[in-house]
Structure 1
Amino acid sequence: MGSNKLYIDNSNTRMPLIYGDFDIDRVGINTNNPRFELHVKDGNDAGTEASLFIEPQKWNAPGDFGELRVGDPFHYLRAEFSVGMTLYDFNQILFRVGGANAPIRMQIANNGNVGIGLAGNPTARLHTSGTVRLENLALDNSLNRILVVDPNGNVFIKTVSSLVNTNCTTVNTLPKVSNTAGDLTCSQIFDNGTHVGIGTATPSEKLEVNGNIRTNISLIASDKRFKKDIQPVTKALSKINQLTGVGYSYRTEEFAKSNLPAGKSLGFIAQDIEKVFPELVHRNAEGYMSVNYDGLIPVLVEAIKEQQAQIEELKALVRQQPDAHR
């Protein structure tokens, strides 16, 4: 002991077993240069390990434990026999990886919520900012399996039959919750991976609706950059004169599955349109025809322009005629 230092050693060639520096209030084990309040260094010259061992007086039954506490009784690391390690904090536990100012990589809040990669507190049992990948998730070859999250945040793979009393069994039809608790029923939406049908299980288009559609605005892609082989519409008036507008009623009873509207309608016959404007007529897989009525708009515009040109010519001729009553 000397110069406000404390030594416990028995060799002049090795570091002291215990070294205390009262000026800086630090203790070193196997080092005379403690950098912290307690600094433990491997005493073996050729060694590469240093350990701090806390051994309880008794360590052979549940309830036997050793602890390392910091600051107050509510911040500690405990090892308990047959239980394992417990890291405890009254507020939250934070995990940082990186440099001195590394951000929080993971946190466990005092309500049990776990956050990964968050800037704030987790608001769910598992709250992550970023992508999530599940690898080697236990599966089997059974059908009708779904991924389920229970109210406690636990994730399970369950059979549909274990969760609902009745279910929609129509292939490719989206199920929906029925008015009966625990039951699923079939919706009107059919999706075979290629086409989607509403009210039909045999859609022939990307989206086919068996019934009326109501919308505030209907938009059609018309940007010039999408188009090629652009040609003006010619002889529009003569083509319009070949069309015949008709009134009609749909044969709803004979084509009940088509869900055609009842009552009187006005329009054209697709077969007649095809003779004049074949590009405006479409046949489905069953051969039934439909008409692109919007495609008639540019024809009508050009027909009006042609007709107006004729009117202007007639006006000019009239102006050239002498006034017989003058």
Structure 2
Amino acid sequence: MRYPFIIKGSVMGLLLSAITFSVHAQQIEEQELKINVAKIGSPRAQLSSLEPVSFRYDVDKYKHLQLPKGQQFGFLASNVKAEFPTLVYEASKMYPSGKNATKIAKYNEVHTEELIPVLVAAIKEQQAEIDLLRKEVQQLKQQSK
């Protein structure tokens, strides 16, 4: 290697830059970042209109998009948009369309991971109802004795 000191110096510089950056990182509390925090209301009602589906991308027709192969699980964006419009976003992928030319394909996608808080809220709501029904059953059993 002709320039070992230059490479070592560059690596050292990058490491020192990374260390300096982490020392000056600003710690922000969650309560400062998130405003207008509210509980999720009627999560089961919101989720009831969603239709989970399994599907395959048409990877033969849309090879240029390099979509995942095999069976997928998720939601149709058109179905989710009615109840959760903020979870649907327009994705875009750039792909080559000839010598020194590119095109952009745009399509709707769903942020499925953002459904997790709604699912947890629905589970908690359902569990509260189950607990209430258990108490009622216990009371009925006690009264029938």
Q: Which TM-score band applies after superposition, normalised by the shorter structure?
A: 0.5 to 0.7
Deviations 1:150-203 (A, max 9, x none): xxxxxxxxxxxxxxxxxxxxxxxxxxxxxxxxxxxxxxxxxxxxxxxxxxxxxx
Distance 1:254 1:235, change over 3 A: same
How far the C-alpha of 1:323 sits from its partner, in A, is: 5.4
Of 246, 261, 270, the match for 2:77: 270
Q: Distance in 2 between matches of 1:225 and 1:292?
A: 24
Relative to structure 1, is the Cα distance of residues 251 and 224 closer, same or farther in structure 2, using a 3 angstrom cutoff? farther
Q: Which amino acid aligns with 1:267?
A: G
Q: How many residues align?
A: 108
State the shift of 1:227 in Å: 2.0
Moved over 3 A (4+): 284-287, 322-326
> Which residue is 2:122 aligned to?
303
**Shift of residue 249, structure 1, vs aligned partner:** 0.8
TM-score with structure 1 setting the length: 0.30
> Cα deviation per residue 1:286-313 (whole Å; 9 max; x = unaligned)?
5511111121010011001100110011
Higher strand share: 1
Change (3 A) 1:323 1:231: closer
How many Å apart are 1:319 and its aligned residue? 1.6
Distance 1:322 1:251, change over 3 A: same
> 2:107 is aligned with what amino acid?
Y
> For residues 274 and 242 of structure 1, what CA distance do their matches in structure 2 show?
11
Quick check: which one's helix share is greater?
2
Please say if residues 74 and 112 of structure 2, whose CA atoms lie closer than 8 Å, have aligned partners that are also in contact.
no
Q: For 2:55, give the aligned amino acid.
A: Y
Distance 2:31 2:119 in 1: 20
The aligned counterpart of 2:61 is 254
Higher CA-based Rg = 1
Q: Distance in 2 between matches of 1:309 and 1:259?
A: 44
Contact kept in structure 1, 2:53 and 2:74, CA below 8 Å:
yes
| Residue 293 of structure 1 pairs with residue 117 of structure 2 | no
Structure 2, unpaired ranges of 5+: 10-28, 93-104
How far apart in 1 are the matches of 2:112 and 2:138?
Answer: 39
Per-residue CA deviations over 1:71-103 (Å, capped at 9, x if unaligned) read xxxxxxxxxxxxxxxxxxxxxxxxxxxxxxxxx
Once residues 306 and 322 of structure 1 are traced to their aligned partners in structure 2, the CA distance between those partners, rounded to angstroms, is 25
Worse overlay, 234-243 or 278-287: 278-287
CA-to-aligned-CA distance 1:192-216 (integer Å, 9 cap, x gap) = xxxxxxxxxxxxxxxxxxxxxxxxx
Question: Residues 121-160 of structure 1: matches in 2 within 5 Å?
Answer: none
Q: What root-mean-square deviation, in Å, do the aligned CA atoms of Structure 1 and Structure 2 show? A: 2.5
Matched, 1:313 2:140: no
Match of 1:236 among 43, 51, 54: 43
